[in-house]
Amino acid sequence: MAAEKYPIETIRHSAAHILAQAVKELFPETKLGIGPNVENGFYYDFDRETPFSPEDLKKLEDRMRRHIKAAEKFEKIEYSEAEARELFKDEPYKIELMNDLIKEGEKPTFYKHGNFIDLCRGPHVNSTADIKAFSLTKISSAYWRGDQNNKQLQRIYGLAFQTKEELDAYVKRIEEAAKRDHTVLGQQMEIYSTHAEVGAGLVHWHPNGAIIREEIENFWKAEHRRRGYKYVYTPHIGNLGLWKTSGHWNFYRESMYSPMKIDEIEYLVKPMNCPFHLHIYKTKLHSYRELPLRYAELGTVYRYEKSGVLHGMTRVRGFTQDDAHILCTPEQLKDEIIGVLELSLFMLQTFGYKEYVIELSVRDPDNKAKYLGEDAVWNKAEGALKDALNIKNLKYRVGEGEAKFYGPSIDIKTVDALGREWQGPTIQVDFNLPEKFDVTYEGQDGKKHRPVMVHRTVLGSMERFIGCLIEHYAGRFPLWLSPVQVKVLTVTDRNNKHAEKVHAELLENGIRAELDLDTGTIPKKVRDAQLQKVPKILIIGDKEQEADTLAVRTLDGQVKFGVKTKDFIEEVLKEIKEKRLP
């Protein structure tokens, strides 16, 4: 059978077995853990006192290729329990796994290729020769069975694809991703930092990062006010009773920080803003004529994430949601969802996301105990979201069991320049919280009615959104977002006075400009500005000073000579106003 006819998962799992075989041959004292396939490849966990080294990976790859060249057949074997225990008497992790299988009433099965035998359900490729494209990539540590109370093992990761062309293309994407890594560029461009002394997952915005965030927030606020949202601010902590009423304490507690006691009352740092917005609504009686009411807030929230999943700006413990809650009548719901969809897609397109994946997250019909509310309420909410997507002719996939405990949602994942998906806008319909908090409005009939609540973000969080933008743009922000929009460089000291005059004109016109009067060479100054991803670089020498013109260099290396300062400023201001993309 040709390799391309096997499911890729089978190829990757088989490669993991060949890796384990190579490890046992080169390092026979090693104890075997598990070796599953994962996205893009595989890994295998090993217990060995001496750490594996990068040089070891090369040796292991060579040994794996030797077995692949030998075309060793994968054979399924069954042993009696006594035979299996004797075979794996020196493999404690395999014995533990075998004991679990026997307890569950399963008969352990084994696969052999060459002289190597492993405990495994299978399936596998026909022979080792069916592994056509693989490489070992890195070594990390992992607790046995993912439990931090267990021993820490060494994990070797590998890639595996059906063809070498696919492997090479993936490696190229990974190399490009490394160049765009926001945890590297974010430090290099002085956008943000995190500090163990302060706390894991807590982002510090540096002046450059603060400028990017401020520009996005100003744009966000202007667009929301234009669309009828009212901006609010709410506290960072609240009475624990809020989240007991909302249901979060029962359904979401593992992601919330522990309560703190103040005057014998328990408070929480807020994990979300919705209870506060409902209390703002409840400060007065509302008529149906006032609805919809749209409350918006850039509210900072705190959620517990395990330390192992924290990553730069994209997975943090404190973050600012671009949050809003809409309270409307049931009749207004469809139009409100459509309005949020339009705003979300407008925002994504403004920032250069041309592709996105839409998912309709609904209940797990077989596990309704995980959710608040009656079937009729859920059916109505899911139907409203589905109708809005269909009206806008948007393609979507259904994520069964992906709904929040209080309501279904539309989740939009942005697709970046490397084809990776990132969680972006979310639109959730909620019939439950208005009831939990006894929220009402006076209807046309003079009676009290329950409004519907729409929870939504159109960017997600400022931290994750900007972290993703760094990678999407590879640090080359569009002019309107760039912390430094123009850098003015001089060729010699005698050009300094003229450069200072140009710099002052730029600042007077609201352009973020910096002046570099250092005595270094022009190539070095240009290189420094390029490392900081400055979109426009102005070079002023004797020729420019005499003619009162500028030499304008862009990040892509294009240079235009003889540009009048007035014309340059007009063009820059126009590009900023139009929010042109790079």
Q: What architecture (CATH level 2) is domain 186-472?
A: 2-Layer Sandwich (3.30)
Name every residue whose Cβ is closer than 8 Å to that of residue 443 and which is 6 or more positions away in sequence: 288, 329, 449
Q: What angle do CA 28, 34, 40 make, to 5 degrees?
A: 110
Mean pLDDT of 101-120: 92
Q: Which two tokens stand for residue 493?
A: 């000291």
Distances (CA, A) of 5 to 2, 38, 94, 162: 6, 19, 30, 9
pLDDT of residue 1: 42
List every span in the chain annotated with CATH 3.40.50.800: 486-578
- DSSP H/E element including 452: strand 452-461
Of 162-166, 300-304, 519-523, the one with minimum mean pLDDT is 519-523
Contact 228, 197 (CB under 8 A): no
Mean pLDDT of 253-276: 93
Rg of the chain on CA atoms, in Å: 30
List every span in the chain annotated with CATH 3.30.930.10: 186-472
Q: Which residue has 């299996």 as its token pair?
A: 84
d(CA 134, CA 183): 28
Contact 343, 458 (CB under 8 A): yes
Distances (CA, A) of 295 to 138, 197, 299: 47, 36, 11
Contact 314, 464 (CB under 8 A): yes
Of 77-91, 348-362, 364-378, 437-451, the one with minimum mean pLDDT is 364-378
DSSP assignment of 479-492 equals: TTT-SS-EEEEESS
End-to-end CA distance of the chain: 48
- DSSP H/E element including 427: strand 421-430
Q: Write the pLDDT tens digit of every residue in 257-268.
A: 999 999 999 999
Confidence category of residue 220, pLDDT binned at 50, 70, 90: very high
Q: Is pLDDT of 405 > 80?
A: no
pLDDT of residue 373: 74
d(CA 468, CA 34): 33
Q: Could you tell me what percent of the chain has a pLDDT over 90?
A: 82
Q: Which two tokens stand for residue 285?
A: 């009686």
What's the CATH code, domain 486-578? 3.40.50.800
Q: Which two tokens stand for residue 336?
A: 């409100």
Q: Which residue has 């999943």 as its token pair?
A: 309
Confidence category of residue 105, pLDDT binned at 50, 70, 90: confident
pLDDT of residue 367: 83
pLDDT of residue 369: 78
Which pTM does this prediction carry?
A: 0.82
Confidence category of residue 2, pLDDT binned at 50, 70, 90: very low
Q: Is pLDDT of 61 > 50?
A: yes
Mean pLDDT of 149-154: 94
Q: Is pLDDT of 4 > 80?
A: no
CA 369 to centroid of chain Cα atoms: 29
Taking Cα atoms as reference points, which of 4, 1, 37, 24 lies closest to residue 113?
24
- DSSP classification of residue 162: S
Quick check: bond before 292 cis, omega within 30? Answer: yes
Q: Is pLDDT of 464 > 80?
A: yes
Q: Write the pLDDT tens digit of every residue in 158-181.
A: 999 999 999 999 999 889 988 999
pLDDT of residue 399: 87
d(CA 328, CA 87): 67
User: Is 124 in a helix, a strand, or coil?
Assistant: coil
Q: What is the dihedral of CA 172, 173, 179, 183, to 10 degrees?
A: -140
Average pLDDT over all residues of the chain: 93
Q: Is pLDDT of 79 > 80?
A: yes
CATH topology of domain 3-171: Threonyl-tRNA Synthetase; Chain A, domain 2 (3.30.980)
List every span in the chain annotated with CATH 3.30.980.10: 3-171
Mean pLDDT of 46-58: 96
